[in-house]
Chain A
Amino acid sequence: MTKSHPSRLLIVDDEVQIRRLLRVALETEAYEVHEAATGQLGLSEAAGVHPDGIVLDLGLPDLDGREVLRRLREWSQVPVLVLTVRDGEEDKIAALDAGADDYLTKPFSRRELLARLRAVLRRTQPSSEETIVRFSDVEIDFAARIVRRAGAEVKLTAKEYDLLRYLAQHRGRVVTHQQILRELWGANAEDSTHYLRVYMTHLRQKLEPEPRAPKFLQTESGVGYRLVES
């Protein structure tokens, strides 16, 4: 993927080794990298250098990562990718609720890191009014509300289309069950994940090459879903 303009990134992590590795991985992708070792430094650095994106470790020595997120969100909407060693989905959901755009569990691969970063950075990049999103052999035409697979139109119910559209708009990023339910069913429907499962199964059957082992409409263990483009 070619970049029109290199993005400025801030890494907030107390582990020197992680910072070093991230710097190597990101600089080879032409990102401009800044570092901070503590939450406080991270916050002042964020105010000083105005990064286009932040990679934030949740386990910081001075401030809890979520607290950093909360303070950051008081004045900035900069995309944040959270790094965590914690497996528990509660922590991930809590970070997402606190304003993180996505998360990555340590240990992670370089490929994953770059894909996630690209996806969270896209949120603030001026999208050229995309009306068509493609993944696999599927093409979603937002303007015409039409979904094609290998050129042929796929019949989707209204809810299936809404679900697909929501995932496509956030493609590459995790969306939690709660976010989807709020978006599709309104504020009071946060418990009806049962229906969400059923719609997702239908969508996969209609769009995935192998619905049993979905490649594009992925499940994030206990957290939500993610539409992956490749």
Chain B
Amino acid sequence: MSTTRRTVDTPPAPPSSWKEYVFAAVVVTAITTAGLLLPESYYVSVGLIYLLAIVLLCLRVGRGPVLMAGVLSAFVWEYIFIPPHFSFAINSLQDRLLFGTYFVVSLVAGQLTARIRAQAQNERLREQRATALFHLTRALAEAKTLDDAVFVALQQMDELFGAQTSLTLADENRTALIPHFASSYSLEGKERATADWVFRHQHNAGRFTDTPQASAGCYLPLVRENETIGVLGVKVPPDHTLTHAQQNLLEAFARQLALSVEREHLRAASEREKLLAESEKLHRALFDSVSHELRTPLAVINASADSLSGADANLRGQLVNEIRTAVRRLNRLVGNLLNQSRLESGTLKPRLDWCDAGDIVNAAVESTSDALAGHPLTIAMPEDMPPVWADFALTEHVLANLLLNAANHTPPATPIFLTTGLEPGGQRIFFAVADHGLGFSPAMRGRLFKKFIQDDATSTAGLGLGLAIVRGFTVAQGGEVVAGENPGGGAMITVYLPHPSPKAAVQA
């Protein structure tokens, strides 16, 4: 296996095919035959015709055939046409000069041709390289993720170099290499060792490089800002080789890939930072609102208890009511915090069963009656409402949170509507809670169902957990929540639950 580096600055001209040699020989033969038909004294003209043919041949065939035609025609001309005929002897000095000049001109012509052809070839290679790089950069720019980019790049290299490629990227601590899934061969044994060496030394190694190793592939480091962020490997079949231009192209590819990888790293880092900032903000908001929400009812209870001694019967009744309301509020809050953690811990398993929709609505209204006080509530349910397939408790929490949400975010004494029924088509049950408040601002709508989100302008109560729980519990039951406009003005949130056909197990 060759591991010597090839140093060819211009690529060799493409080897001429035997057809070109045959063609050149045929041309020489044709001119010779035609020349034989001419009078003997025309031998100088025949020489000029040979020369013309050589120059024209230059345009068609490569250096080898031209040289062959030049030498062949020179000797044929000298042997047949230059007096004395059919002899390699030349009598006159003029003829010797003629022959010498002819020989030199034909050789120079052949040489010039070769150079022109090589230049054209070079030009073509440059163009190929530019096109390849252009395709690569475009593919890298278009790729949405690093994986896409790497996949495209490696595929292109496979095709371009007729080789297998592998990419390994440094892990987060920059200590080890992790193979990328788009690699077309896996690094093992010597290949892996060479790649690791490249990673540590930030230097090319392997075949075609000045630090050959016992590996079949050639390995290039992906370097950004003096740090190796990965290693690109190319394995060419043993009987193939990479031209110098291809090696250059390979290096250019490695640079482009390094850029892409770095870009991805930077993007990920900024994403992490943003997330961190976000979660810190969330944490603060949670802290503030939890302490507010927990302390307010506690303060009410404390103050009421203090005032109880020495209060007359009337005041005592009021204070006891305050305490009761505060306790219910606290209890709901704790319930929602527990519900949220049930949702997040993933331990929530709905117990679906046939439930009476009216029962669920009643339970939800009952548990929120104190908070709803002052808001006239209209409940609409069809006479023939079928049993619904739901988890009673979860659905009750969903409706209670929707009612609380409506009550907390609308002006006092505005009406609230709870409508339930079977969707046209009978595929889904819906529960809609509508109000006459301000509705949702467009900015609000997108984050409505995220936890700890509050519309600051209207926030009066709650942790901002309500709608997150509504959605979590609904989705857990296979349903869907839609936030929209109340046709009469205000907000409307609709919860849809699937409505399977009742099991046919009639036993009554």
Contacts and interface: CB of A to CB of B under 8 A. Distances in A.
Interface stretch (B9-17, B24-32, B348-356): B348-356
Contacts of B331: 107
B502 A194 contact: yes
A90 B387 contact: no
B362 A87 contact: no
Interface residues of B, number: 26
Contact of A89 (B338, B351, B356): B351
Given A221-B392, A221-B396, A212 B358 contact: yes
A7 interface: no
Given A87-B338, A192-B503, A221-B393, A177 B353 contact: yes
Interface string B334-351: 010010000000000001
Interface in A186-202: 186, 188-189, 191-201
B507 interface: yes
Interface string B465-508: 00000000000000000000000000000000000001101111
Contacts of A107: 327, 331
B363 interface: yes
Nearest to A86: B338
A199 B505 CA distance: 15
Interface residues of A, number: 28
Given A87-B335, A107-B331, A219-B359, A195 B506 contact: yes
B356 A90 contact: no
B294 interface: no
Interface in B343-400: 351, 353-356, 358-359, 362-363, 379, 381, 387, 391-393, 396
Given A189-B505, A221-B393, 13 more contacts: A89-B351, A89-B392, A177-B353, A185-B508, A193-B387, A197-B355, A197-B356, A212-B362, A214-B359, A219-B359, A219-B363, A222-B351, A222-B392
Interface of A: 87-90, 107, 159, 177, 185-186, 188-189, 191-201, 212-214, 219, 221-222
11 contacts: A87-B335, A191-B505, A192-B507, A193-B387, A194-B502, A194-B503, A195-B507, A195-B508, A198-B387, A213-B362, A219-B359
Interface of B: 327, 331, 335, 338, 351, 353-356, 358-359, 362-363, 379, 381, 387, 391-393, 396, 502-503, 505-508
